[in-house]
Amino acid sequence: GENVEQHPSTLSVQEGDSAVIKCTYSDSASNYFPWYKQELGKRPQLIIDIRSNVGEKKDQRIAVTLNKTAKHFSLHITETQPEDSAVYFCAANTGRRALTFGSGTRLQVQP
Amino acid sequence: EAQVTQNPRYLITVTGKKLTVTCSQNMNHEYMSWYRQDPGLGLRQIYYSMNVEVTDKGDVPEGYKVSRKEKRNFPLILESPSPNQTSLYFCASSSGRVYEQYFGPGTRLTVT
């Protein structure tokens, strides 16, 4: 089945710096790659997604890039703020089961 | 307000005592899923349903059952809970496989 690997598992940055989280996937048929943010004690919420017909998508301070040839995609957060501190999950669609999630990255933004 | 609800939010039970966690959505979504979240393992899909009376196994279905008799409801049933089912459970719904999944608030289950 689909395997989605996510790195790093923890990431600490200074406020104002950039953060990058990387994921790789195994199913070449995957064509939908969302990123979810989960704040402590809360439910995961979609922050950005990308489909395989584009290589990059931006939404204010966050961006996602996709390299279908290499089967990897990345989340970029610029000008990080303390409220960006959370666990971030990447995911890729797989067959009929919708999404396979990565194991998560705990991002801590130090003020 | 568009939402996914789950009940109960917290549950402590004993091994072998059957329990049901309810999930309901008011967005007329066809696709619903159950996930469990464990530290370091991310979100793993237990079961999913593409429509009423259509359900299928996810990655970790052992020990769980589901039913989808109505479009809005997708209960998760643990016939004989065991301690390894202690976890945080999320229900989610979406309008399709490749669209945003809306998660419920989560149910923290402890089986002693």
Q: How far is A103 from chain B (nearest CA, A)?
A: 4
Amino acid B109: pLDDT: 98
Q: CA-to-CA distance for A71 and A24, rounded, in angstroms? A: 6
Is the minimum CB–CB distance between A3 and chain B shorter than 8 Å?
A: no
Confidence of residue B13 (pLDDT cuts 50, 70, 90): very high
Instruction: Tell me which of A54-68, A89-103, B91-105 is least confident.
Output: A89-103
Contact A98 B44 (CB under 8 A): no
Please compute the mean of the pLDDT values over residues A72-80 and round it to a whole number: 97
Q: CA-to-CA distance for A96 and B56, rounded, in angstroms? A: 9
Amino acid B65: pLDDT: 98
Amino acid A61: pLDDT: 97
Q: CA-to-CA distance for B1 and B87, rounded, in angstroms? A: 28
Say yes or no to pLDDT of A99 above 70.
yes
Amino acid A19: pLDDT: 98
Amino acid A1: pLDDT: 64
Say yes or no to pLDDT of A86 above 70.
yes
Amino acid A97: pLDDT: 64
Instruction: Tell me which of A9-13, A33-37, A104-108, B49-53 is least confident.
Output: B49-53
Confidence of residue A14 (pLDDT cuts 50, 70, 90): very high
Please compute the mean of the pLDDT values over residues B90-110 and round it to a whole number: 91
Q: CA-to-CA distance for A42 and B104, rounded, in angstroms? A: 9
Q: How far is A79 from chain B (nearest CA, A)?
A: 26
Structure tokens at B69: 């008799």
Beta pairing class for A10-14 and A105-110:
parallel
Query: Counting one residue from A and one from B, how many pairs have CB atoms under 8 Å apart?
Result: 57
Amino acid B40: pLDDT: 84
Please compute the mean of the pLDDT values over residues A23-39 and round it to a whole number: 94
Short-list A74, A68, A70, A71, CA closest to A53: A68
Confidence of residue B96 (pLDDT cuts 50, 70, 90): confident
Contact B43 A101 (CB under 8 A): yes
Say yes or no to pLDDT of A96 above 70.
no
Query: What is the three-class DSSP state of A83?
Result: helix
Q: How far is A97 from chain B (nearest CA, A)?
A: 7
In percent, the amount of chain A with pLDDT more than 90 equals 81
Beta bridge partners of B55: B49
Amino acid A53: pLDDT: 83
